[in-house]
Amino acid sequence: MPSRPAKACRVMGCAALDPCPLHGRAVERAAYERLRGSAASLGYDRTWRDFRQWYFGELYRLKVARAGLCGCRHPSAPPTRDSVCARDQRPDLATVVDHIIPITGRDDPRRLDVTNLQGLCDRCHNQKRQREAVSAQRRR
């Protein structure tokens, strides 16, 4: 099996091969962030932040089991396996309102749909995002 040719570091004038011990992946990360866009352009603007607060309050008002904890969902939302904390009965706080089915941007109709949301802790949310990224790469 032929080996792939080594790529040079992307920093102008650096002669090191990729990954560069001096610059690492910082250049690739910066380029990715520029292409990705801001949080507001992805739909996480003031409206989203206000809605997020309302959502957690609504879960408490409805006396939802685990309201405010990782794995909490509106009664109309489908069950998921995204929360390891809920499965293991750990009382970790939900710090993220996660879209069960990922949204495509600000104009996605599922963006503010309570049936597409769940509260997750950072760890469970990051694990879910990682699974989604791997799945998306496999589809390519």
- What pLDDT was estimated at residue 79? 94
- Look at 118 and 136; give whichever has higher pLDDT: 118
Rounded to an integer, what distance in angstroms lies between the CA atom of residue 47 and that of residue 10?
Answer: 38
The residue assigned the tokens 């791997």 is 134
- What pLDDT was estimated at residue 43? 72
What is the average pLDDT value for the chain, to the nearest integer? Answer: 85
| 3 state SS of 117 | strand
- What pLDDT was estimated at residue 4? 58
- Number of CB atoms found within 10 A of residue 56's CB: 16
The residue type at 31 = A
- Number of CB atoms found within 10 A of residue 59's CB: 25
Q: What is the pTM of this model?
A: 0.72
Which residues lie below 8 Å from residue 90, measured CB to CB, with a gap of 6+?
A: 70, 84
Rounded to an integer, what distance in angstroms lies between the CA atom of residue 21 and that of residue 128?
Answer: 30
The residue assigned the tokens 């941007």 is 105
